[in-house]
Chain A
Amino acid sequence: MIELQPILVALRRHRLIAGLLVLLVALTCAIVCNVAFMIQERAALIQVPSGLAENQLVTIDSINLDRAANQVARHQTDLAALRMIPGVESAVAVDALPFNQNDWTNGIGLAPEHNIAIASAFNGTPGELKTLGLTLVAGRGFQADEYIPEDSAHGYDGLNHVPTAIITRALAERLFPGESALGKLIFTTPNPIRVVGVVARLLRPNVGTGNDNDFSILFPMLPDTRDVTYVLRTAPQDRERVLQQARDVLYRLDGNRVVRNDMTFQQLRAKYFQRDRTMMELLIASALGLLLVAALGISGLANFWVQQRTRTIGIRRALGATRGDILRYFQTENFMIVALGVALGVMLAIVLNLVLMEYYELQHLPPWYLPVGAAALWLLGQLAVLAPALRASHISPAMATRNV
């Protein structure tokens, strides 16, 4: 049984040092809780699945500089040549792609002008589903006679005539909760669009922290702007070679264009998240640094305490206290100080979170972070005090009789 009374008395006599420790623990707890949350937010973002066969895709952008040309025909010619490259299983021309930030958003509803959700539109040439590796969970793909041009020259008028669409499961559940979306009509303009298929997932071109990252809709519309993205599917080991050849093929067909962003899909993803990854590394480094420095402070003070109380410990040992008693004394003392610090720290963490939400668009700190953060600091405190406490428990009872 540990007597709390002597610990309390000792703490009251060392209010300054105890207060310092409480403050140290509180600040560390407040910052680390928030930093850990920011790390977790970014880690979840970076790993968000796209729904694509990521390791088999390469992409290449082409911008035709001849505005007068028939762009749909140009894309067809390019695609025919790209499909001839050895190792290319299939190729499509698309406008939007996860992570390419070409985000054309439309309100979607079950009646005109009654939007239920905002979704990103994906348009591409026939074979888009198969090439991207999207998983159809219900319905069918588009049929050849459903395809029409986007008609970008007239404000993307194709949207007013497109007959069918394929939506993601997330969007289907938002639009038709608890029922099948197949065969139902949806509206983004007065034109009714029939849902013919549902895919498991397709990430929007821009990713956010909300729960609408998968609100995507595929239309059977052919891209007809001069700026287009070609997606090629190939074996993972062929990707670099295929990219190089694709570049050459496009320039050989027509030199009056800009070819850019030629990269594997995995490089596209890495590029999109580069800032978040940097920030995450920075946050991890600072959280570890904070914990290290706080541990330094705690063990430094514990060390000092043990040294200062050498005589007292000797007397206690001489009066019959076991080594375990001494060890537990210091551990309990540390536990109590950290408990005070954590209590203050939890409040500070909430305040800090509110400040961060005000100025830096941080989300609400989930409540379970607080007990986890508190437990982490308790553990840290116990680890930091272990060495000094062990040293204290090895002080011999004879110390009581010595002068120094």
Chain B
Amino acid sequence: MFSYYLALAWRSMKRGPVLSALMVLAIGLGIGASMTMITVLHVMSGDPLPGHSAKLFVPMLDPRPSSQGSAHTGLRGAPDAFTWTDAMNLLRAGRADGQAAMDAGSVAVQPMREDLHPFFERGHYVTSDFFSMFGIPFLIGSGWTPAQDQARARVVVLNAELDRKLFGNSTGIGQTVSLDNTDFRVIGVVKGWHPQPMFYTQQGGHIFGESDQFFLPLQTALELKLSFNDRMSCWGNGPDDRQSDRCTWLQFWVMLDSPAKVAAYRTFLDNYWSEQQNSGRFPRKDSPPHLYGLMAWLAHEQVIPANLSMQMWLAIGFLVVCMLSVVALLLAKFLRRSGEVSVRRALGAKRRDIFAQFGVEAGVIGVAGGVFGLVIAQIGLWSVRQRPDGYAHLAQMDLSMLISTVLLAIAASVLAGLLPAWRACQVAPALQLKSQ
């Protein structure tokens, strides 16, 4: 029966090619616009470290005095960064399988090569566990040791692109590179590491797009007064000192291998919080410590820009109007064939059969609209890739999105066809025949 309905649908489309084309156009435009934005949001909310992300967590403590932003900002105003004091305490306690403190920074790279002018490059100042925790693949060499952290060693790990830019095809391992007038020894080269989003960066930083090109010890950066890029918020009196317990600015990550360890770490955090309260810190009783998983942290930090979600809702609104239009057009098309329906009904077709017939016809239009929508979505994604934003290069459609596009188009058109098909199968056989 299905192939017969297909044949009927095909014949019906041929009979009214303009109307059918308009319906395909409407479905295609709506689906294309929606799928463009859904794809962009889909790739942006992807897992930056597949296979690794489940083990990574962000502890969060709220060290603000009770007077600051208490009344209406409440928990929403809680910092999303660590003070130096707490980061160093948790680092020294070493209760997790790995823990690292970090901050974004940029330095002027002064190349030895005569043909290159100095340039700025973005990277991170981190502590030694950073590389093993995030499973960063090394091309050659390795990270540094905790002892080198303490010694404020002048060592640096380069990402593959910067390494190639500075040293050409032979890697720069063991060589010297000058950053902000200080010589650093290259002790490792990373094999082109580009997690998207750059989950360990503070929200509002460069979270999509170009990834870090260098990593150097946090304490070294502090000693050399290199430029730090992440937001620092301070309270109370006194100078804004990075090493005080009145300023939050560091990102802190831990690795926990098993659920038991996660539970244990939560307990540890709670204990740390009450201990510090006993010594007069953490006056905000309403803001207990948190431990976020990686994906939960990204959701908490709202890494997706608001204007993108607005664009998605706009596209979905567009799709709804397109569907309403298709409902109208299908209604016109189906009811126009009341005569045909009444003949089929008189010949013994049940209402169910008529309903199925028109459902199939709506589905056929959906398939065509889906294919057209794919074309529109590819054009839309191409235009997103031309944007100056960091997420632009991510706007690519994978197989699952390709299939969802066609499925969504079929679902939309079948949904749009429900009402017209139901109306069509209400046609009574005798009455219509009489009027003919």
Contact = CB atoms under 8 A, between A and B. Distances in A.
A221 interface: no
B265 interface: no
Interface stretch (B25-33, B54-62, B246-254): B25-33
Interface residues of B, number: 43
Contacts of B328: 17, 20-21, 24, 297-298, 300-301
A293 B423 contact: no
Contacts of A67: 181
Task: Say what secondary structure dominates the interface of chain B.
Answer: helix
Contact of B118 (A257, A275, A294, A301): A257
Contacts of A271: 388
A300 B325 contact: yes
Interface string B168-187: 00000000000011000000
Contacts of A308: 335-336
A153 to B, nearest CB: 13
B24 to A, nearest CB: 11
Interface in B302-321: 306-307, 310-311, 314-315, 317-318, 320-321
Interface string A22-36: 011001100100010
Contacts of A259: 117
Contacts of A144: none
A286 B388 CA distance: 21
B249 to A, nearest CB: 19
A347 interface: no
A259 B329 CA distance: 60
A16 to B, nearest CB: 7
Given A20-B331, A275-B387, A256 B324 contact: no
Contacts of B118: 65, 255-258
A304 B424 CA distance: 14
Contacts of B311: 279, 282
A104 to B, nearest CB: 17
Nearest to B225: A67
A296 interface: yes
A11 to B, nearest CB: 15
A65 B332 contact: no
Chain A interface bracket (under 10, 10 to 19, 20 to 34, 35 or more) = 35 or more
A359 B306 CA distance: 8
B307 A24 contact: no
A306 B33 CA distance: 32
A27 B324 contact: yes
A65 B120 CA distance: 11
B436 A404 contact: yes
A274 to B, nearest CB: 5
B181 A66 contact: yes
B2 interface: no
Given A67-B181, A301-B331, A24 B325 contact: yes
A296 B329 contact: yes
Interface string A386-404: 0000000000000000011
A66 B320 CA distance: 60
Given A296-B26, A297-B329, A65 B108 contact: yes
B407 interface: no
Interface in A280-301: 282-283, 286, 289-290, 293-294, 296-298, 300-301
A24 B108 contact: no
A24 B322 CA distance: 9
Given A257-B118, A286-B318, A20 B327 contact: yes
Contacts of A251: 117
Contacts of B210: none
A304 B314 contact: no
A289 B29 contact: yes
B36 to A, nearest CB: 10
B19 interface: yes
Given A31-B317, A301-B332, A275 B388 contact: yes
Contacts of B419: 16
Contacts of B340: none
Contacts of B436: 403-404
Nearest to B376: A289
B336 A307 contact: yes
A256 B329 contact: no
A115 interface: no
B110 interface: yes
B389 A65 contact: no
A359 B106 CA distance: 33
Interface in A16-55: 16-17, 20-21, 23-24, 27-28, 31, 35
A356 interface: yes
A183 B320 CA distance: 62
A258 B326 CA distance: 58
8 contacts: A16-B423, A28-B321, A65-B118, A258-B120, A296-B25, A297-B325, A308-B336, A404-B436
The 5 tightest CB contacts between A and B, nearest first, are A304-B332, A297-B325, A300-B329, A297-B328, A24-B324
